[in-house]
Amino acid sequence: MTSELPFHRSLLFRLSALGLSLFVLAAIVLWGSIRIVRRVTSDVALLNESSDGAVHYAHLVALAHLRAAAPPEEASALQARIEERIAAQDRRFEALRRGDRAAGIARIDDARLVAALDEPERAWREGVRPIVLRIAAAGSAAAGELATLDRRVLDAVTALERWSLAAQEQLAASAERGRRWSYSLIAALLAGVAGTLLAARRVARRLAGLSQSAQRIAAGEESVAIAVGGRDEVGLLGRAFEDMTQKLRRNFALERDARAKLEEMFRAVGETAARLATAANEILASTAQQTSGAQQQLAAVSQTMTSLDEIARSSERAADRSREAADIARHSDELSRTGHGAVDEAVEVIGRAKDQADGVARNILELAEQANAVGDITALIDDLAEQTNVLALNAAIEATRAGEHGKGFSVVAAEVKSLAEQSRRATAEARQVLGDVQKRANRSVLSTEESTRSLEAAVRAAQHAGAVIRELAELGARLSGAVQEIADSSAQQATGIGQITQAVRDISNVASQYVTSTKQSELAVRDLTTLGEKLRQLLVTTSR
């Protein structure tokens, strides 16, 4: 209901307006007080500055008379003091006209008072100041102007006093206006405080009426009239309180009717609780039987799981061995193929060895024939050696016959004979060596023929071995395929057994969950039985 109230009619708005008004009035009073204090302080400083100006004139007159009568050695000091006083007086008139924040003097706002300041300032600048400057500069030479200075100073002081009196009158009037304004603000502030207190008192009286009505309703009175006027929140609260009281009256009547219905419902619930207890006992017995059967099924499934685990392990071992056999078979097939290639290569090598042996045999036969030819040559050399020996003998005989002239020929014959002997011995040795070579060549030819026959037998054996290895390779390939099929079948069997094991394990989990669920159902039925008993007892207690 508060949300339907316009804000300008709300209590919050009224109190806020009063508080804001009081705050604004207090701020204005404070601001005005501060302004008045500052103004009074500035006016006092202004009047003090004006009084100091008059005193300053007296100081200047005294310094001018001293300067006119002073000896030359004091002239500069007095001139400096006079110039300092002149500068101070200039600053004073400037402060009076425009204000001086450092001295606490505010700027004069009254135009007439500012215009009135022209007379004393003109008396200073045009009448007193030039004469003082001439006396300060000339000293005793300007002593004749002291009388004029006295008259001008008197006129300037008189003008400054008239301005001071006018300023006092003006400032007094301004202070009176500020005082009246302050009194008005204080009165307004007091009026605001009084209004706030009256509004708070009125709200407190209305809230006290609501509080008394609430206390009477709390004491058990149903016919309580609530009359709180107003269009603010308190009025809305009173109307809402009245609506609440009427609703409470209706609720009391409804509560009496509901109590009667509740007592009837208690009787029905009691009968239902008794039936619930009976049904719960029957469900409990049935649940116990189901739990026992489920536990037996779970034990059987566990035994099946154990057997399947053993079968699975056996299948895995068989599959592993089948895979090992397949690997061995593949390795055997590869070795057979390698052996077949090696045999073919051996046959080829043996064939080349046989051809080489045949070539060696032919070379040995040719060597034997050449050895026979060398024998014929050695025989010819032997014959030549024999003939040379005969010729040497004949030459020796002829040399002996020749006597002294045949000595040289005798030496040649001896040498020829010696060479013939050496040729005979070398021929004999060569004949013996050739004989040995021929014998060995014959034996080599025989050996080569035997080797050739052996190589031919080895070629036949190698070819037979190659045929056997080829058959073994084909058999190994067929065996490898069969073993691979066995390994694949074993792997599929292991996979199938694994799936069966997983299925049985799932059945075991389901059985376990069923047993757990059955036990939970049993506990729930027991709780239901206990709850029914408590409900029956509660109904009995309530009915009393």
pLDDT per residue as tens digits for the range 214-237: 777 677 666 666 666 666 666 666
Contacts of 538 (CB under 8 A, 6+ apart): none
**């009224």: which residue's tokens?**
14
Q: Are 523 and 261 in contact (CB under 8 A)?
A: no
List the one residue out of 519, 25, 526 whose CA is nearest residue 280.
Answer: 526
Of the spans 137-146, 465-474, 521-530, which averages the highest pLDDT? 137-146
Please choose, from the candidates 432, 436, 441, 431, the residue with its C-alpha nearest in 3D space to the C-alpha of residue 375: 431
pLDDT for 60 beyond 80 = yes
Query: Residues near 460 by Cβ (< 8 Å), separated by ≥ 6?
Result: none
**With 60 as the cut, is the pLDDT of residue 3 above it?**
no
pLDDT of residue 350: 63
Longest dimension (CA), the chain: 205
Q: Per the confidence metrics, is the pTM higher than 0.75? A: no
Residue among 459, 433, 324, 460 at smallest CA distance from 378: 433
Q: What is the token pair recorded at 77?
A: 């000091």
Q: So what's the architecture of 263-543 in CATH?
A: Orthogonal Bundle (1.10)
- What average pLDDT does this structure show over 251-275? 66
Asked whether residue 415 carries a pLDDT value surpassing 80, the answer given is no
CA-nearest of 542, 525, 539 to 268 is 539
pLDDT class of 2 with cuts at 50, 70, 90: very low
Structural domain boundaries of the chain? Answer: 2-212, 263-543
pLDDT band at 1 (very low <50, low <70, confident <90, very high): very low
pLDDT band at residue 78, thresholds of 50, 70 and 90? Answer: confident
Q: What is the mean pLDDT of residues 108-130?
A: 85
| CA within 13 Å, CB half, 7 | 2
350-359: per-residue pLDDT in tens?
A: 677 667 767 7
